[in-house]
Structure 1
Amino acid sequence: MSEAAEMSTTSRRTLLCCGAAVLAGGSALGVAGCSSSSSGSTTTDGAGSAPSKSAAPVEVGAAADVPVGGGKVFRDQLVVVTQPTAGQYKAFSARCTHAGCIVDQVKDNQIQCPCHGSRFSVTDGSVQDGPAPKPLPSYPVSAENGRLVVQK
């Protein structure tokens, strides 16, 4: 494949990421994070499920802070937790799948992004209104001793 043809198939994000790493004196570690392949241990199934990579559980806050039928954005942890029905908690990435902005509120049964108006379901993170192209990734969540614990 010619260099021009190969460059035209490279995504803008990959090009920007790798170019920045090389310009910054890019070490092998910096360039390794710029792969455009879909293989690796942190993948999603495209339906908004959590990455397959395991991490330590993260305590995000008090279960009592998440209203029934609503939710709360835990900005520091980049997680939004909802409670569609009493005692049923759902956790999602707080990073919008459109441009990466952080969602700012849960209102009218929707997780809302302030940047471009994307809205997501409090039940499953699915896109309710665009321009977001896909659902918010979900994470396992549990209430332990009144505290919410998310497996990111």
Structure 2
Amino acid sequence: MSGGGRPTRRAALAAAALAAAAAACDKYGDEGAEPDPPESTPPSSGGGAPGERPAKAPPLAKTSEVPVGGGKVFKDEKVVVTQPEKGDFKAFSAICTHQGCTVRDVSDGTINCPCHGSRFSVADASVTDGPAPRALAPRGIDVTGNAIRLT
């Protein structure tokens, strides 16, 4: 160690590297992660009786908006809904498993990420072209009549 209590060049470089790593974790660590659910659900303003079923979520889309063999990305909800075969609707997270970008579109049977070219199958969201390391996470939907709702 050098005299005068001053840090060595090696110690200063190590501290700078740790600070850069911490900043990268802050920037990318939770990107694409689902937010924690609230600890409790606030009472509804509808004044319903205890044990009464909550109102259904508003429709995300109409079934006619999701093409057969394709799908539609809902950026605000961070979900992509596909229809691999007529009447078979599926939903997946719209957050790419590579670096957390939101997928852009669905075409030619794949869900497409604009950041690094990852592609996912409309049938099961498995990776068809990397660099994504794993499939998109499934999301719950309810299809009743012509309405698609997140569950």
User: Is TM more than 0.5 here?
Assistant: yes
Instruction: Please say if residues 62 and 147 of structure 1, whose CA atoms lie closer than 8 Å, have aligned partners that are also in contact.
Output: yes
Supply the distance in 2 between the matched residues of 1:62 and 1:101 (Cα, whole angstroms). 26
Q: C-alpha distance in 2, partners of 1:59/1:97? A: 26
Q: 1:145 maps to which residue? A: 145
Query: Is the Cα contact below 8 Å between 1:110 and 1:120 reproduced in 2?
Result: yes
User: Aligned partners of 1:129, 1:82: CA distance in 2, in Å?
Assistant: 18
Q: Counterpart amino acid of 2:150? A: V
Pair member with larger Rg: 2
Once the two structures are superposed, the pairs formed by residues 2-151 of structure 1 within 5 Å of their partners are 16-17=25-26, 59-151=59-151
CA distance in 2 between counterparts of 1:130 and 1:71 reads 20
8 Å contact kept, 1:97–1:134? yes
Q: Distance in 2 between matches of 1:83 and 1:13?
A: 41
What percent of counterpart residues are identical?
47
Q: Compared with structure 1, are the counterparts of its residues 14 and 121 closer, same or farther at alpha carbon in structure 2 (3 Å cutoff)?
A: farther
2: distance between equivalents of 1:118 and 1:71? 16
Distance in 2 of aligned mates of 1:66 and 1:13: 41
Aligned residues, how many?
107
Structure 2 unmatched runs, 5+: 1-20, 31-35, 38-55
| Structure 1 residue 146: Cα displacement | 1.4
1:149 to partner: Cα distance: 1.1
Q: Is the 8 A contact 1:89 1:142 kept in 2?
A: no
Q: Name the TM-score, length of structure 2 as normaliser.
A: 0.62
Deviations 1:62-102 (A, max 9, x none): 11100011100011111100000111000000010001111
Distance, in Å, in 1 between the alignment partners of 2:103 and 2:67 is 17
Structure with greater contact order relative to length (CA < 8 Å, sep ≥ 6) = 1
CA RMSD after TM alignment: 2.7
Helix, strand or coil: the match of 2:117? coil
Instruction: Please say if residues 69 and 84 of structure 1, whose CA atoms lie closer than 8 Å, have aligned partners that are also in contact.
Output: yes
What letter is aligned with 2:98?
H
Whole-Å separation in 1 of the counterparts to 2:24 and 2:76: 29
Q: Is the 8 A contact 1:102 1:113 kept in 2?
A: yes
